[in-house]
Amino acid sequence: MTFSIRPANSADLGTITRIYQHEVLHGFVTWNEQPYSIDDFQKKLTEFNSQNFPFFVIVDQEQQQIAGYADYGSFRNFSGYRHTVEHSVYIDPAYARQGLGSMLLAHLIQHAKMQDVHVMIAGIDHSNTSSIALHEKFGFKQTGYMPEVGQKFGQWRDLVLMQLQLD
Q: At 71, phi and psi to the nearest 5?
A: -155, 170
Report whether pLDDT(1) > 90: no
Render pLDDT for 67-87 as a digit per residue (tens, 0 to 9). Answer: 999 999 999 989 999 999 999
pLDDT value of position 119: 98
Q: In which band, very low, low, confident or very high, does the pLDDT at 31 lie, cut at 50, 70 and 90?
A: very high
Angstrom distances, CA of residue 33 to CA of 42, 86, 90, 108, 150: 19, 20, 16, 26, 11
Q: Answer whether 2's CB lies under 8 Å from 131's CB.
A: no
Render pLDDT for 131-166 as a digit per residue (tens, 0 to 9). Answer: 999 999 999 999 999 999 999 999 999 999 999 999
Render pLDDT for 119-136 as a digit per residue (tens, 0 to 9). Answer: 999 999 999 999 999 999
What mean pLDDT value characterizes the chain? 96
Q: Rounded distance, CA 38 to CA 131, Å?
A: 26
Question: Which residue type sits at 54?
Answer: P
Q: Answer whether 96's CB lies under 8 Å from 67's CB.
A: no
Strand-strand pairing, 119-125 and 84-91: parallel
Q: Rounded distance, CA 78 to CA 133, Å?
A: 30
pLDDT value of position 167: 86
Can you tell me whether residue 56 is helix, strand or coil? Answer: strand
Query: CATH homologous superfamily of domain 3-165?
Result: Gcn5-related N-acetyltransferase (GNAT) (3.40.630.30)
pLDDT value of position 18: 97
Can you tell me whether residue 154 is helix, strand or coil? Answer: coil
Torsion sign (Cα): 157, 159, 160, 166: positive
